[in-house]
């Protein structure tokens, strides 16, 4: 049976690629994004340096305190389109607070970015996930923030996978780190990244055309669609992208909600994992 499908799917792969062509980015877009991200990395380091100095620490420490940006969401998953936001997380050492972030970061951003390249700068301090939104050279950036309470400096090669990094953080900081950790982990848990990406692009295109893509409106958002596709990829580890899409609908349609879609065994750790109102997807 499976081989049957595998045989069939092959002849359709090219059609799928054509159908998604519009959803793919050009290298031009990638380059401008890379530049913007490099600039945000420098701005983040400058922000850490200035706040550290302002707190009376030595210049030597201020210069080595570091700071790093992480992308998450569709950009990190490699499934962003020309109009996608870049979801970015600023990670700083323990002595820098969220208040510092909202107080100093926007000004340093305006000062260090090329004149006129920043638009629609909107800090939202009281959101569930506090955020600074802006456009940088026409690219929408959603910039969130967390310190790491266990680190006094943030090296450039830091990764967020170690659960010990979550110690001593408040709920808001945990939520901010969660996005980046989830995206990285989804990628780790799929058997073939390239297959996953192409299949997810297909499902995203479908969900957008059918207007059922928007977490804020009560539809699945980017993370949810990604997890559902990732689960199907795990169930068919050898399949190509088109077969994943073909299998996706019946598997998800007949999912016995509220049984969760699990990509891995639930870990114990400082993160509060289970939501009592949980209907389905656990990360």
Partner 1 sequence: MCATHNVTKSTKTIVQRELKRGGNITDGIMYRNGQWKDLFVKHTFFTESYKYYLSIVSASTTKEAQLIWSGFVESKVRFMVGSLEEHESISIAHPFNKGFERSHKCSTEEEIQKAKGGSLEFQVKDVPTETTNPIKGSDIKPGTITKEEVGNGISKDEGKIKVENSEGDKKDLMVYTTTFYIGLELRDGKCSPP
Catalytic residues: 74, 85, 87, 142, 204, 213
x-marked contacts with partner 1 along 180-199 as a string, rule CB under 8 A: --x-----------------
173: left (phi over 0), alpha (psi -120 to 50) or beta: alpha
Instruction: Report the run of H or E that residue 18 belongs to, with start and end.
Output: helix 2-20
Asked if 24 interacts with partner 1 (CB under 8 A), we say no
Q: What is the DSSP string of 211-262?
A: T---GGGTS--HHHHHHHHHHHHHHSTT--HHHHHHHHHHHHHT--TTS-B-
Tell me which DSSP letter residue 158 carries: -
Contact region with partner 1 (CB under 8 A), list: 48-56, 60-68, 90-98, 200-208: 200-208
Evaluated on CA atoms 219, 181, 267, 200, the torsion sign reads positive
Asked if 124 interacts with partner 1 (CB under 8 A), we say yes
Residue 72 CB contacts under 8 Å (≥ 6 apart), including other chains: 87, 88, 89, 179, 180, 182, 183, 184
- Report the distance separating Cα 30 and Cα 75, nearest Å: 10
Asked if 48 interacts with partner 1 (CB under 8 A), we say no
Alpha carbon distance, N-terminus to C-terminus of the chain: 31
Residue whose CB is less far from partner 1, 24 or 219: 219
For partner 1, the binding residue among 110, 129, 151, 282 (CB under 8 A) is 282
Asked if 223 interacts with partner 1 (CB under 8 A), we say yes
Distance set, CA 41 to CA 69, 93, 143, 212, 238 (Å): 6, 14, 12, 34, 38
Asked if 125 interacts with partner 1 (CB under 8 A), we say no
Three-state secondary-structure class, residue 122: strand
Instruction: Report the run of H or E that residue 144 belongs to, with start and end.
Output: strand 139-147
Contact region with partner 1 (CB under 8 A), list: 34-42, 48-56, 151-159, 270-278: 270-278
Residue whose CB is less far from partner 1, 43 or 283: 283
For partner 1, the binding residue among 26, 211, 265, 267 (CB under 8 A) is 211
Residue whose CB is less far from partner 1, 81 or 221: 221
For partner 1, the binding residue among 10, 15, 235, 238 (CB under 8 A) is 15
Residue whose CB is less far from partner 1, 66 or 202: 202
Smallest distance from partner 1 to CB 210, Å: 5
Contact region with partner 1 (CB under 8 A), list: 52-60, 74-82, 93-101, 117-125: 117-125
| Interface residue list for partner 1 (CB under 8 A) | 5, 8, 12, 15-16, 19, 120, 122, 124, 175, 178, 182, 205-207, 209-221, 223-224, 227, 245-246, 248-250, 252-253, 257, 271-275, 277-283
């Amino acid at each position: 049976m499976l081989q049957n499908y595998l045989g069939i799917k092959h002849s359709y792969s090219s059609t799928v690629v054509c159908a998604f062509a519009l959803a793919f980015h050009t290298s031009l877009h990638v380059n401008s994004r890379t530049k913007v991200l490099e600039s945000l990395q420098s701005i983040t380091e400058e922000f850490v340096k200035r706040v550290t100095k302002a707190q009376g620490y030595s210049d030597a420490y201020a210069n080595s305190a570091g700071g790093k940006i992480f992308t998450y969401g569709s950009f990190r998953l490699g499934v962003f389109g020309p109009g996608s936001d870049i979801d970015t997380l600023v990670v700083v050492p323990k002595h820098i607070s969220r208040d510092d972030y909202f107080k100093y970061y926007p000004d340093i951003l305006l000062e260090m970015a090329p004149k006129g390249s920043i638009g629609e700068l909107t800090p939202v301090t009281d959101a569930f996930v506090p955020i600074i939104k802006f456009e940088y050279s026409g690219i929408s950036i959603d910039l969130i923030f967390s310190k790491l309470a266990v680190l006094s400096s943030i090296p450039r090669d830091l990764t967020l996978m170690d659960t010990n990094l979550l110690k001593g953080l408040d709920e808001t900081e945990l939520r901010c780190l969660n996005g980046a950790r989830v995206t990285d982990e989804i990628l780790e848990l799929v058997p073939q990244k390239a297959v996953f990406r192409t299949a997810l692009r297909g499902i995203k295109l479908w969900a957008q055309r059918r207007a059922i893509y928007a977490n804020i409106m009560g539809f699945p958002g980017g993370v949810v669609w990604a997890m559902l596709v990732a689960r199907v990829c795990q169930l068919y580890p050898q399949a190509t992208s088109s077969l994943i899409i073909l299998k996706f609908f019946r598997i998800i349609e007949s999912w016995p909600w509220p049984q969760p879609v699990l990509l891995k065994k639930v870990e114990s750790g400082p993160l509060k994992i289970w939501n009592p109102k949980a209907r389905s997807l656990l990360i």
